[in-house]
Amino acid sequence: MFQTQINMVKKKLSVYDLKKLKGKKQISEVFVNNEEEAIAAEEAGIDIITAAYGMPQFGFNATLEDIERIRKVCPNTHLMSAPPIFSYASSYEAIKSSYSLLSIGIDSVYTANSCKWIKEITSEKIPVISHVGLIPSQVTWLGGFRAIGKTAIEAKDVYYHTLSLQDAGVFAVEMEVVPKQIASFITKNVDILTISLGSGSDCDGQYLFSQDILGTYHGKYPRHAKVYRKLIDDFESIQKERITAYKEYILDVNNKKFNDPSISVDIDKKEYELFLESIKN
């Protein structure tokens, strides 16, 4: 009931709505891994929810069916997704994959492909969010996972890359691990939205992964991650309780403790005697 009431009053932000927020309100964006996180994000009031599928190389093991289920549980929040990286080899295939997402109700599509391809995708009125700065799928060209834009030459490259993506028709870019001064300058000098991942508070919005916010990651957290809870400890505690409960169950099975009247059914003594009598012959 509570979720239904929230959904009734919360307005899903369209691309048009999001663009109007530039310079007026900080946009919140989170990556979710499952339906439970999506429900919580919508009820909390997150502006953009992101969910990816078919990218095990980046630790995302969801399927397209999982994305459909996530869409159903957060119907009143802008949902972004992406065709699996390296699953298409032409702008035509990228457009086809994007349409498959739009057909299940996805509101915008992420891609870090070339401006040439992106221009062809956006020419079909497919809403696109792209990426500048540290782009995980391109780290071999960057020398690993590091800040991008700490030199004047790199900062200039990030700026002109953003302008090129703007010209290609994207409505927003994720700006990952770019010095906050550069991110601030770019944000003020482009018309599209800039969403920060470790690039300071002067972008048009902030983006974090649920595993960072909720503290569910087993390894080392990225430097730009901000952890608000440590649910991994709770999950480990719950798992220990699961094991203990199963052991107690096995013990009860072995000790034949399932004749307890609260969980078993008796037959009236007279009826039982009639039963025995009836099967003598």
Mapping DSSP onto H, E and C, the string for 178-226 reads CCHHHHHHHHHCCCCEEEEECCCCCCCEEEEEHHHHCCCCCCCCCCCCC
CB 63 within 8 A of CB 83: no
| E-only strand ranges, 222-269 | none
By CB neighbour count within 10 A (0-12 exposed, 13-18 middle, 19+ buried), where does 68 fall?
middle
Q: State pTM to two decimals.
A: 0.85
| Number of C-beta neighbours around residue 36 at 10 A | 12
CB 231 within 8 A of CB 237: no
pLDDT of 9 reads 58
pLDDT of 58 reads 60
C-alpha pair distances (Å), 38 with each of 33, 49, 123: 8, 7, 30
Per-residue burial over 205-219, b if 16 or more Cβ lie within 10 Å, else e, is: bbbbbbbbbbbbbee
29 is catalytic: no
Residue type for position 19: K
Catalytic residue among 176, 241, 271, 277: 176
Domains and CATH numbers, the chain: 2-229 (3.20.20.60), 235-278 (no CATH)
- What is the chain's length? 281
pLDDT along the chain (281 residues), means of 10: 50 96 96 95 96 73 89 97 88 94 96 95 97 91 91 97 98 97 97 96 95 85 84 93 96 94 93 93 66
**CB within 8 A of 136, min separation 6: which ones?**
58, 145, 176
pLDDT of 6 reads 47
